[in-house]
Amino acid sequence: MAEKDGLSGLILDGTRIEGKLLFDKVMQIHGEVHGEITSDSKLVVGKNARINAHIRVKQLIVMGKVEGVISGCESLEIHEGGQVFADIEVKTLQIKPGALFDGKCAMIKDSKTKK
């Protein structure tokens, strides 16, 4: 995956992280993360990834399994085979055929409409 802003990190399959994960650029997870994930950038959850966390990122792409809470996310895409079991707060949401979403969804209003 080539990204214009680069890659902050890559968590490979077979790796498990517990605690807080903070990053500046794009992060790809193919292993397990339990705790909190925070960034003003993009998080890509690979097909074999298992996440149980409170996630606060700008853009989230899910191809694996995510459980927990997703808040303040501008864009969430759940791809085929992706599973999200979470209450979410997002600006835009795309659920592709073959994806699974189970939880509550609150849509974030555009900041211009809050006036």
Tens-place pLDDT, residues 36-55: 999 999 999 999 999 999 99
Residue 2 has a pLDDT of 44
Number of domains in the chain: 1
Position 2 in a domain? no
Q: Where are the beta strands (DSSP E) in 39-112?
A: 42-45, 50-56, 59-62, 65-78, 83-95, 100-102, 105-107
> Could you give the CA distance from residue 31 to residue 16 in angstroms, rounded to a whole number?
6
Print the domain residue range for 77. Answer: 7-114
> Could you give the CA distance from residue 20 to residue 72 in angstroms, rounded to a whole number?
17
Position 87 in a domain? yes
Residue 31 has a pLDDT of 97
Position 64 in a domain? yes
Position 71 in a domain? yes
Residue 5 has a pLDDT of 60
Residue 109 has a pLDDT of 85
**Which residues of the chain are modeled with pLDDT < 70?**
1-5, 111-115
Position 72 in a domain? yes
